[in-house]
Amino acid sequence: MKDASEIKDASEVKDTFDLGGKSFKSRLIVGTGKYKDFAETRAAVEESGAEIVTVAVRRVNITDRGKENLLDYLDPKRYQILPNTAGCFTAEEAIRTCRLAREVGVGDLVKLEVIGDNQTLFPDVVATIEAARVLVKEGFKVMPYITDDPVTCLRLQEIGCVAVMPLAAPIGSGLGIRNPFNLAIIIEQAKVPVIVDAGVGTASDAAEAMELGCDGVLMNTAIAGAKDPIAMARAMKLAVEAGRLAYRAGRIERKLYATASSPLTGLIG
């Protein structure tokens, strides 16, 4: 008889992904916005198992001198800090923000987002491409938040972005994956990691993204906005792991009719 432990399965094989020359185990990237305080931010990030965390770039508070700093809670030696360009509506603003972010000294990985419309927060595709071109030339490792459009994702890869980050649904909407077929095309064509960024509402959305074959999922509101952010952080960690493993395990084909699971021979009578 063969022992169960002799059977090696996909979950035992090392499964990391590379981003801008660095290797990561966790495929969940989390944002740090909308938390009650820095202590809750840190607790949620820890529970999520994320190794990469996004942060925003803002003016230092001049009047409140005693203010704590986010990096006091999230050690840049432990976490890969991923500054974003949230709030930028032009390529120039986004480029300026990235240059400042890099000068803080946490590396040259940036999440590029150039917003085209205030209500949907959909990206300005033209401005994103324009900014990506400049930033890549300046040595940044650019991860652009972008519409779930396969051709745009191809263009961003050609420019030299280290990943593409198509949205699942509008930022903070929690609508889940609105266009799995476009994402499937993007994943199939991609030569760089595909990270689904924005729109995830709950664990099943994250699992679905991973089952499609994405390399990772980036989320903020789905965790920070949950009634219990710490529990949701853990749920997301498990969902991303489960979805990834299901993808690697290879799901069965969908069929219209039933196929019996039990033998059709040896029936009684």
> Using the rule CB under 8 A, is 219 a contact of other proteins?
yes
> Using the rule CB under 8 A, is 253 a contact of other proteins?
no
Q: Which of 118, 110, 120, 128 is nearest to 55 (CA)?
A: 110
Closest approach, Cβ 62 to other proteins, in A, equals 6
> Using the rule CB under 8 A, is 80 a contact of other proteins?
no
> Using the rule CB under 8 A, is 114 a contact of other proteins?
no
> Closer CB to other proteins, residue 223 or residue 239?
223
DSSP 158-220: HHT-S-BEE-SSSTT-----S-HHHHHHHHHH-SS-BEEES---SHHHHHHHHHHT-SEEEES
Q: Which of 2, 8, 25, 111 is catalytic?
A: 111
Q: Give the tokens for residue 63.
A: 């009047």
Q: At what angle do helices 180-189 and 150-159 cross, to 10 degrees?
A: 30
> Closer CB to other proteins, residue 48 or residue 54?
54
Closest approach, Cβ 166 to other proteins, in A, equals 15
> Closer CB to other proteins, residue 65 or residue 255?
65
> Using the rule CB under 8 A, is 173 a contact of other proteins?
no
Among 84, 128, 157, 173, binds other proteins (CB under 8 A): 84
Which span sits near other proteins by CB under 8 A: 15-23, 35-43, 182-190, 253-261?
35-43
Q: Which residue has the tokens 């030696």?
A: 77
Cα–Cα distance for residue pair 168/261, rounded to 1 Å: 35
> Using the rule CB under 8 A, is 245 a contact of other proteins?
no
Q: Which residue has the tokens 């420019």?
A: 159
Rg (CA), the chain: 20
- Sheet with 109-112, side-by-side order of all strands: 109-112, 141-146, 165-166
Catalytic-residue membership of 111? yes
> Closer CB to other proteins, residue 105 or residue 269?
105
Q: Which of 24, 73, 69, 15 is nearest to 50 (CA)?
A: 24
> Closer CB to other proteins, residue 52 or residue 155?
52
> Using the rule CB under 8 A, is 8 a contact of other proteins?
no
> Using the rule CB under 8 A, is 104 a contact of other proteins?
yes
Q: Which of 207, 201, 148 is nearest to 179 (CA)?
A: 148
Active-site amino acid positions: 111
- Binding residues for other proteins (CB under 8 A): 31-35, 38, 41, 54-60, 62, 65-66, 69-71, 81, 83-84, 86, 96, 99-105, 171-172, 198, 218-221
